[in-house]
Amino acid sequence: MAPEPLQSDAMVFFGASGDLAYKKIFPTLQSMVRRGRLNVPIIGVANTPWTLEQFRARAKESIQTHGKFDDAVFAKLSTLLQYIAGDYTDPATFKQLCTAIDGAKRPLFYLAIPPSLFATVAKGIATVCQPEHARLVLEKPFGRDLGSAKVLNHTLHQWFPEPSIFRIDHYLGKEPVQNLIYFRFANPFLLAGWNHRHIESVQITMAEAFDVKGRGKFYEEVGAIRDVVQNHMLQTVACLAMDCPHDNSHEALRDARGELLQKIRPLNTQSVVRGQYRGYKQEPGVAADSRVETFAAIRFDIDNERWTGVPFFVRVGKCLPITATEVIVRFQPIAHPVLDEAQLPGANYFRFRLGPEEVIAIGTRVKKPGERMVGESAELVAHHQPPDEMEPYERLLGDAAMGDATLFAREDSVEAAWRIVNPILNDKSVPIEYEPGTWGPSDRLTPPGGWQNPEIEK
């Protein structure tokens, strides 16, 4: 008998008339078709009563607005599209879907819908369509705290085993985040020093110069900690700090990330500073007395042999002076008898710019010409790439369609990340107000040597 094909042979996405589909999914599908990575029926499902022609028109408008529209590629994509209008609670919707995917052995179901509907749709797929080797792709958030994440995972496992669940954290699909892992393990000089004996502190800044972009209602439900710390930031910390995976299998990398997250100490309110930009309360959908944070600075501690005593600081926020995500790994300053100066804190570091462009740089000291052994700072840029032209969504959907789960968040790491932030989620204190365009209350919680603010890349 021929082996089962690995590649998904149909792609279904729920939430086809929604915002995410409009902004991200259609442009991604066109890119996948352009690269020859997608040539299977694509079935959009939503409750908007569109005809197929209206659905195609929506796809076209979406790509023209948010992607790089290409006539020939779009024509090909159009022939793959199908549309089902229906209610997710109605078995008739799923019966129609079964007919549409008829014969598919490994259909991929992408749930670009609110998490409150995950269980209903997963059940509909499993009980009505009963596909044998289905793959389920989910958008964050996976729950809103540890308890709800466990319930959600348990619910989904009634119908889908863990290996067929793909939880998207688009940070894991970013090329610079993968390069972080590559760079760490490909350079022996770095392997030897990547621990508490040499590293003083780590800081990550995820700064966004824009506000909540009209998503006030959504943001009120999450705040910065649920929106980007529990997922993107903690997965980045895991990639930075994990031990070397045992091999290059899908699961070994996920094991290494999960094991690291298990070692991060749960937070308490002393390790967090929350801020809110002035004007947030006036955003549509935001409560006049909202205490939701749009900024957070957090100190994480990792209780394992490698990282004992090394603080990991994470700072995220909206309406900050720049849009950039950057990691700074600082080495411990050491006094040396040869030098006529004390080593400056923070002079020796690795800098990883994770977005919008990609940079890997090394902060050094070099001697100033003259008789004395005194120096100046110099930064060596090892790598500078413009923003990756393959969007994380394309990489991730392509991987899920091949059954490769390496870049997806597994149940254990999602729950471990919730365990870390859980104690601070119900903090009802008033966040510190900050002026848009400033670094917020960064000075209330600072790494040794202070924050290194990301700047416009030269």
Kindly list the catalytic residues. Answer: 232
Q: Does 355 bind ligand BG6 (CB under 6 A)?
A: yes
Instruction: Determine the size of the site formed for ligand BG6 (CB under 6 A).
Output: 6
Among positions 2-41, residues that touch ligand BG6 (CB under 6 A) are none
- Which amino acid belongs to residue 248? N
Amino acid at 26: F
Residue with tokens 């900024």: 295
C-alpha 39: how far from its chain's center? 27
- Run of H or E residues at 156: helix 146-157
Interface with ligand BG6, residue 227, by CB under 6 A:
yes
Query: In this complex, which beta carbon is closest to ligand BG6, that of residue 46 or of residue 228?
Result: 228
Of residues 392 and 441, the one with the C-beta less far from ligand BG6: 392
**Site track for ligand BG6 across 296-335, x = CB under 6 A:** -----------------------------x----------
For residue 416, what are the CA distances in angstroms to 30, 31, 90, 264, 366?
A: 35, 34, 35, 9, 42
The full DSSP string for 415-456 is HHHHHHHGGGTT--SPPEEE-TTS-TTGGGS--TT-------
* Residue with the CB atom nearest ligand BG6 in the bound state: 227
CB of 25 to ligand BG6, least distance (A): 15
By rule CB under 6 A, what string of x and - marks binding of each residue 191-210 to ligand BG6? Answer: -----------------x--
CB of 358 to ligand BG6, least distance (A): 12
Taking the complex as a whole, the smallest distance from the CB of residue 272 to ligand BG6 amounts, in Å, to 18
Quick one: which H or E segment has residue 190?
Answer: helix 188-193
Handedness of CA 9, 13, 17, 23 (dihedral sign): negative
Asked whether the beta carbons of 272 and 426 are under 8 A apart, the reply is no
The answer to whether 358 contacts ligand BG6 (rule: CB under 6 A) is no
**How far, in Å, are 93, 315, 437, 439 from residue 276 at the CA level?**
43, 13, 12, 11
Nearer to ligand BG6, 235 or 325 (CB): 325
Q: Of the two residues 258 and 355, which places its CB atom closer to ligand BG6 in the complex? A: 355
Site residues for ligand BG6, 53-112, by CB under 6 A, read none
**Which CB, 44 or 355, lies closer to ligand BG6?**
355
State the CB neighbour count (10 A cutoff) for residue 344: 12
Write down the least CB distance from residue 370 to ligand BG6, Å.
44
Compute the distance between CA of residue 271 and CA of residue 291 in angstroms, rounded to an integer. Answer: 18
Closest separation in Å from C-beta 369 to ligand BG6: 42
Helix (H, G, I), strand (E, B) or coil at 369: coil
Is the Cβ of residue 86 or residue 176 nearer to ligand BG6 in the bound state?
176
Output the CA–CA distances (angstroms, integers) from residue 345 to 331, 338, 348, 352, in the order listed.
8, 18, 8, 18
Least CB distance to ligand BG6 at residue 75 (A): 30
Q: Is-cis flag, bond preceding 27, omega within 30? A: no
Among 228, 256, 297, 324, binds ligand BG6 (CB under 6 A): 228
Instruction: Answer for the pair 320, 187: CB distance below 8 angstroms, yes or no.
Output: no
What is the smallest separation between the CB atom of 213 and ligand BG6, expressed in angstroms? 8
**Nearest to ligand BG6 of 140, 330 (CB atom):** 140
Footprint on residues 167-186 left by ligand BG6 (CB under 6 A): 170
State which of positions 394-433 bind ligand BG6 (CB under 6 A).
none
Binding positions for ligand BG6, 131-170, rule CB under 6 A: 170
The distance between the two most distant Cα atoms of the chain, rounded to a whole number of Å, is 85
Which spans of this chain sit near ligand BG6 (rule: CB under 6 A)?
A: 170, 208, 227-228, 325, 355
